[in-house]
Structure 1
């Protein structure tokens, strides 16, 4: 992962896919039509540390569910795009809204709809459990699987590359 550190230095926005990245990718539907997802608390803490360091965060998901809205709000993620299949169009909206360039953005995904964004941003990564084609075309691949600490690993990589990881961790001593 050290070879990716130069790509992290200018990152001002980190974007996450949800299903397969912040979750293990399984979809749980209840008989009443509702659904639930499980999230990893380690990932959540990583996202909070990244936000506290000054990096903005966003979610882009092809699916729409109130569970994601609730999780994002609980973590302090302000930019939430759900039900958006064209993730590249959302990236362009975010770049214009925040006045950023693609090189200032990091993205963590797992499947083919994530690939256009992964290839366009400064740091485009895939989780270990991602589709093989996506892993092949990403700048890097996490050791952890989606929903099992991959987002934490991604966040800590950015924090380390920007020289903020030690401060983010020692703040809890």
Structure 2
């Protein structure tokens, strides 16, 4: 799909959903000796999410894994809806749409692996990060230039902001 088609789809977006491992992170899992886990997040991605929220787009995380660090990151960024430990992401999507009164065309999703694919194929704008599984990239509406955890979420957010005419204003606030 070309950039113009992606921008057309992005104009309708009212909810942006992110996977975590491989999307907001580099996909690596770090375990300490005591069994605790840590993840590294990209600050550029985080600020992109904040700009998207400030423009009026709602945000959510749906992750198959559950970890306190993701809850903390979501809270720090102001992400309104957090679902962890949920393997059936399509069921979560439908639950969330029912709560918010939105339809599939109003949702964008950024993922990287097979469990994300049912949602990517169902929503109005389903994208994969550059480092995503090849089959997922093949079936997504678009693929970011950046890899997961390396600016892909920022790119995704800026696409939506640009399509909705809000990117210039979001950036101008810092001039």
TM-score by structure 2 length?
0.98
1:78 CA drift (Å):
1.4
The answer for the alignment partner of 1:130 in structure 2 is 132
1:97 maps to 2:99: yes
1:122 CA drift (Å):
0.2
Deviations 1:58-77 (A, max 9, x none): 00000000000000000000
2:13 to 4, 11, 14: 11
Deviations 1:48-103 (A, max 9, x none): 00000000000000000000000000000010000000000000000000000000
1:170 maps to 2:148: no
The answer for the alignment partner of 1:53 in structure 2 is 55
1:3 CA drift (Å):
2.9
How many matched pairs?
Answer: 173
- RMSD value, Cα: 0.5
3-state SS of the aligned residue for 2:40? coil
1:64 to 63, 66, 77: 66
- CA distance in 2: counterparts of 1:138 and 1:2, whole angstroms: 15
1:141 to 138, 143, 148: 143
3-state SS of the aligned residue for 1:10? coil
The answer for the alignment partner of 2:81 in structure 1 is 79
1:2 CA drift (Å):
3.2
1:108 maps to 2:121: no
- CA distance in 2: counterparts of 1:59 and 1:4, whole angstroms: 21
Deviations 1:112-168 (A, max 9, x none): 000000000000000000000000000000000000000000000000000000000
- CA distance in 2: counterparts of 1:3 and 1:40, whole angstroms: 27
TM-score by structure 1 length?
0.99
